[in-house]
Amino acid sequence: MTNENFKLSLANRELTVDIKDLAEQASGSCFLRYGDTVVLATAVMSKNDIPDRGFFPLTVEYEERYYAAGKIKGPRYIKRESRPSDEGICNARLIDRTIRPLFPKEISREVQVVVTVLSYDLQNDPDVLGIVSSSLSLAISDIPWQGPVATVRVGRTENGFILNPTSSEREKSQMDIVFAGMERNGEILINMIDGNFEEVKEGLISEAFEFAKPYLKKLLDFQKEIAEKVGKEKIVLKLESLDHKSEKEVKDFLSDRLEKAIFQSKKGERITDLSQLKEELINYIEEKPSTRAELGAGLVPHRNKVSGAGYSGIEKVNLAKKFFEAEIERIIHQNIISKEKRPDGRKLNELREISCQVELLPRTHGSGLFCRGQTKVLSILTLGAPGDQQILEGMEIVGKKRFMHHYNFPPYSSGEIRPMRGPGRREIGHGMLVERALIPLVPSFEEFPYTMRVVSEILSSNGSTSMASVSSASLALMDAGVPTKAPAAGIALGLIADETGYKILTDIQGPEDHHGDMDFKVAGTKNGVTVVQMDVKIDGISEKILKEALEEGKRVRLQILEKMAKVLPKPRAELSSWAPRILTIQINPDKIREVIGPGGKVINEIIEECGVSIDIEDSGKVLITAEKEEAAKKAVSWIENITREVKVGEMFQGKVKRILNFGAFVEILPGQEGLIHISQLSPYRVEKVEDVVKIGDVVPVKVISIDEQGRINLSLKEVKPR
C-alpha cells in the first residue's frame, strides 16, 4: 500500500500530509493534519466529455462529520448528518471559488472534489485545511489543473498579525481574513479573499496580505515538491474549436450585430437581442449544406441529439455556441481596455443611479428598499424575544445566534421561470455574507436584548444583489430603531485584463460580471471595512490591483452612504410601535426556582395569564417580552412579588392556603408563604386553628421573624384588634 508522508512547520504547528491509496479509485486523494484536525480530500473526473453543457461542471462538497468533534447530534430519532450546515455550505463555496479559476477553459468533463472532516480539535479550523487539501488532491491527480494554490488565515490583535489563528485567538481578533494565492513568473497572485473585520482601514488589509505572502510561497513550494514526487501524469484534453474558415464565416455572419446587442443599457433588451442572435447563428450553422449532410438525411435533428451520423453536425453547432460566448468576452474586453466603453455606456468608475426608501410596509418592524440601477432589494426586519434565538448544533459551532440575515432570490428577479424550492447554496452564501458585514455593527445583547432577523427579497437583479442587500438591511435596522453603530453599504468591483493592461470597473452588472475577470465585493461603514469577498476568473490579481480595488471601494461606499443618509441618517430614536417590548429586572439567583416553580408551574402560569415570554439567565437577569408594554409590566410586578425579600415588621393581606394542627400557612406574596403559629392567631388561647381562620380567608398579618432557612413567621394577633 502506498504511504508517503510529508511535513511542514507553519505557525508553530506541524502540517502533515499523508498520501495513501485508501481512496484508490479517486483520481487524487490526500490526508492533511494540522494540530489534531484531520481532513480527507478527494478529486474525481468523469471518463467522458459532456457536450453542450454551457458551463464547467465542477461540484465541491464539504462534509462535516459529528464524530470528528466527538459528538452525537441530530433529532431524537435520526442520529446522523443530514443537509450541510450553513457554515459547511459557505466552506464548500470557499473551496470552489479558490480552485475553479485554475481549470482549463476547454475542460468539459465533470469534476467533483469532496472534503471530509475526519477529526476536529476545536482550535484549528478545517476550512483552510480543506482548501489546501483540495489543491493538493488535484495537483497530484491526472486531472488537468493549473495549480497548486496556497491558503492561509490571518488574524490581528494589538500585538500584530497572527498566522492561522486558533479559534480562541480568532475570538479576540479584529480581523479574520483568508487569502488564497498562486505563483506566476515568480510573483504571488491573489485568487481568492474572504474576510470579516471590525471596521478596519483598507490599508490594514493590504498589510495583512504582505504578512501572508511568504507563508503562501512556503505552502506553494511544499505542494510542488509533493506533486513532483507522487503526482500522476495529467490527461491531455482534446482541444476542439472551429477551423479558421468556419470562424471567419461565423464572424461574417455576426458582423457588428453582436457588439450592438451587447452595448445597450437595458438588461432585458440585451438578453433578448443576444438570445435572438444566437438562435439565428445556430439556424445558420444547421442550414449549411455541409452540416445538413452530416446531421443525416438532410434533416435538422433535435439540438441535444449526439449519436450516430449526427454527431459531427451537432458538434459544429456546439462549437459555434462556444465561439459565440468567446466573441462576447473578446468584444467586452477589447472595448473596455482600448476604449473604456462599458456595455451600458457608463464611465469605468461611475455608479448607477441610487434611490432609497424606508418604512414601506405598514406592520413590519422595519423595512428598507435600496435600488442601484436595475438591482432592487427590499429588506424586512423582525424583532423577537431572546428565546427566539437560533440554536446552533453543528460539528464546529454550538451555541445561539441572535442576529440572522436571510437572502431570497426568486426567479422573477432575473426574468426567469424555475421551480420555487428551498434556498440554494448561492442564496445561503449571499445571506451569510451580508450577515457578516452587519454583525460588527449590531448592538450587544446587554444594550439591546432582542433577537433580530432580516430578510432581503431580491426584486430585480442586475449585478451585486448581495452588496445591495447590505444597504437595504442596514436601512431596515435603522428604520426599526435598532441602535446600530453606523449605517453600512457595499459595492462590487470588476476587472478586465489582458496582456496590454487592466481596467477596474465600479458597480459591475450582468455581462461585466459573467464575462469579466474579477468579482470584488467590499462592504463597511464610513469608519472602515467590515467584509471583503473576492474571486477571479483568471489566475489571480496582483497586490497593486488589490490596493486600487480597496481604495475605489471606499470611494464608492462613502458615496452610497451619503445617498442613504438623505433618507435616514441614523437609527430612529424610538423603537417601532409594532415591535415587541422587552422589560428587564434583576432578581436574586436563589429565587429563580421560586419563579419557575415545581415543574414550571409558576412561570407557565405567568406566561399564560399575562401573554408574555420569559427568559431567565443564571445570573438572575429576567427578560420579559410582550406585544404590549402593559402585559410586560403585569408580569414584572408578578415576578417582583414572588422574589421580593420580605422584612420583619412588614404587614400583608394574606390568603390562608393550608391548615395544620399547629398553625396556618398564609400566602403573603405570589409563591411566598409564611406560618401563623396557633399561638399567634389570637391574644387568647385557641383550641383549634379552624376556630379562627379557614382555608381561603384573607387576613391581615405581620412578619414577626425570619429564621436562618428563610422561613417566614407571621402573627395575626399583633394586627387583629382584641
Question: pLDDT, tens digit, for every residue of 428-447?
Answer: 999 999 999 999 999 999 99
- Please give the average per-residue pLDDT across 21-40, as a whole number: 95
Higher pLDDT, 151 or 646: 151
- Checking if the pLDDT of 77 tops 90, the result is no
Give DSSP secondary structure letters for 132-173: HHHHHHHHTSSS------EEEEEEEETTEEEES--HHHHHT-
Cα-Cα-Cα-Cα dihedral sign, residues 302, 308, 313, 314: positive
Q: What is the C-alpha to C-alpha distance for residues 708 and 714, in angstroms, rounded to an integer? A: 15
The number of CA neighbours under 13 Å toward the Cβ of 160 is: 4
- Please give the average per-residue pLDDT across 415-424, as a whole number: 91
Cβ–Cβ < 8 Å for 595, 622? yes
Cβ–Cβ < 8 Å for 504, 494? yes
**How distant is the alpha carbon of residue 143 from its chain centre?**
31
Mention every residue, 6+ apart, whose C-beta is less than 8 A from residue 328.
258, 262, 274, 511, 515
Give the pLDDT confidence score for residue 356 in this predicted structure: 97
The secondary structure of 258-289, three-state, reads HHHHHCCCCHHHHHHHHHHHHHHHHHHHHHCH
Question: pLDDT, tens digit, for every residue of 95-104?
Answer: 999 999 999 9
- Out of 171-180, 316-325, 613-622, 677-686, pick the least confident: 316-325
Q: What is the C-alpha to C-alpha distance for residues 403 and 473, in angstroms, rounded to an integer? A: 12
- Checking if the pLDDT of 306 tops 50, the result is no
Task: Enter the C-alpha cell of residue 530.
Answer: 467590515
Angle at 546 between CA 541 and CA 552, to 5 degrees: 130
Q: What is the C-alpha to C-alpha distance for residues 695 and 690, in angstroms, rounded to an integer? A: 9
Give DSSP secondary structure letters for 421-490: -S--HHHHHHHHHHHHHHGGGSPPTTT---EEEEEEEEEE-SS-HHHHHHHHHHHHHHHHT---SS--EE
Task: Enter the C-alpha cell of residue 158.
Answer: 494589538
Right CATH number for 354-502+542-567 from 3.10.20.30, 3.90.1300.10, 3.30.230.70, 2.40.160.20? 3.30.230.70
The phi, psi pair for 634, rounded to 5°, reads -60, -45
For domain 651-715, give the fold.
Answer: OB fold (Dihydrolipoamide Acetyltransferase, E2P) (2.40.50)
Task: Enter the C-alpha cell of residue 550.
Answer: 480597496
- Categorize the per-residue pLDDT at 224 as very low, low, confident or very high, splitting at 50, 70 and 90: very high
- Taking Cα atoms as reference points, which of 698, 697, 591, 578 lies closest to residue 638? 591
**Is-same-fold flag (581-643; 651-715)?**
no
Give the pLDDT confidence score for residue 268 in this predicted structure: 80
Whole-number mean pLDDT of the chain?
Answer: 90
Mention every residue, 6+ apart, whose C-beta is less than 8 A from residue 390.
400, 401, 402, 404
Length of the chain: 722
In the three-class reduction of DSSP (H, G, I as helix; E, B as strand; rest coil), residue 200 is classed as strand
- Checking if the pLDDT of 213 tops 90, the result is yes
- Categorize the per-residue pLDDT at 293 as very low, low, confident or very high, splitting at 50, 70 and 90: very low
Question: pLDDT, tens digit, for every residue of 337-372?
Answer: 999 999 989 999 999 999 999 999 999 999 999 999
Euclidean distance between the first and the last CA atom of the chain, given in angstroms as a whole number: 101
- Categorize the per-residue pLDDT at 721 as very low, low, confident or very high, splitting at 50, 70 and 90: low
Question: pLDDT, tens digit, for every residue of 231-288?
Answer: 999 998 877 766 777 788 888 888 888 988 898 877 888 888 888 998 888 888 877 6
Beta strand 451-460 with 403-408 is parallel
Angle at 636 between CA 596 and CA 612, to 5 degrees: 70
**How distant is the alpha carbon of residue 172 from its chain centre?**
20
CB atoms within 10 A of CB 495: 24
Domain edges within the chain: 3-230, 244-339, 354-502+542-567, 581-643, 651-715
For domain 3-230, give the fold.
Answer: Ribosomal Protein S5; domain 2 (3.30.230)
Q: What is the C-alpha to C-alpha distance for residues 705 and 710, in angstroms, rounded to an integer? A: 9
- Categorize the per-residue pLDDT at 307 as very low, low, confident or very high, splitting at 50, 70 and 90: very low
- Please give the average per-residue pLDDT across 65-73, as a whole number: 89
Looking at mean pLDDT, say which of 303-317, 555-569, 651-665 comes out highest: 555-569
DSSP helix, strand, coil percent of the chain (3-state; round to 5): 35, 30, 35
The phi, psi pair for 33, rounded to 5°, reads -130, 135
Question: pLDDT, tens digit, for every residue of 604-633?
Answer: 999 999 999 999 999 999 999 999 999 999
- Taking Cα atoms as reference points, which of 124, 119, 126, 105 lies closest to residue 163? 124
- Categorize the per-residue pLDDT at 309 as very low, low, confident or very high, splitting at 50, 70 and 90: very low
Cβ–Cβ < 8 Å for 336, 258? no
Q: What is the C-alpha to C-alpha distance for residues 135 and 58, in angstroms, rounded to an integer? A: 14
- Please give the average per-residue pLDDT across 130-145, as a whole number: 97
- Please give the average per-residue pLDDT across 115-123, as a whole number: 95
Question: pLDDT, tens digit, for every residue of 530-579?
Answer: 999 999 999 999 999 999 999 999 999 999 999 999 999 999 999 999 99
Task: Enter the C-alpha cell of residue 673.
Answer: 408563604
Mention every residue, 6+ apart, whose C-beta is less than 8 A from residue 248.
none
The phi, psi pair for 185, rounded to 5°, reads 55, 40
Mention every residue, 6+ apart, whose C-beta is less than 8 A from residue 349.
504, 506, 552, 555, 556
Give the pLDDT confidence score for residue 291 in this predicted structure: 52
Q: What is the C-alpha to C-alpha distance for residues 564 and 488, in angstroms, rounded to an integer? A: 9
* pLDDT-above-70 percentage for the chain: 95
H or E element that contains 634: helix 629-643
For domain 581-643, give the fold.
Answer: Ribosomal Protein S8; Chain: A, domain 1 (3.30.1370)
The number of CA neighbours under 13 Å toward the Cβ of 185 is: 4
- Taking Cα atoms as reference points, which of 590, 641, 580 lies closest to residue 612? 580
- Residue 255's region, left for phi above 0, alpha for psi from -120 to 50, else beta, is left
CB atoms within 10 A of CB 21: 12
Give the pLDDT confidence score for residue 377 in this predicted structure: 98
Cα-Cα-Cα-Cα dihedral sign, residues 380, 381, 387, 390: positive
Task: Enter the C-alpha cell of residue 484.
Answer: 446600530
Q: What is the C-alpha to C-alpha distance for residues 524 and 486, in angstroms, rounded to an integer? A: 9
Task: Enter the C-alpha cell of residue 100.
Answer: 475553479
Q: How far is CA 5 from CA 11, 16, 117, 138, 597, in A?
A: 20, 7, 19, 17, 61
| Predicted TM-score of the model (pTM) | 0.88
Please confirm whether the linkage preceding 148 is cis (ω < 30° from 0).
Answer: yes
- Checking if the pLDDT of 302 tops 50, the result is no
Give the pLDDT confidence score for residue 300 in this predicted structure: 39
CB atoms within 10 A of CB 293: 13
Please list the residues that pair with 502 across neighbouring strands.
497
In the three-class reduction of DSSP (H, G, I as helix; E, B as strand; rest coil), residue 191 is classed as strand
Beta strand 451-460 with 375-384 is antiparallel
Strands across the sheet containing 13-20: 3-10, 13-20, 28-34, 37-49, 109-119, 58-63
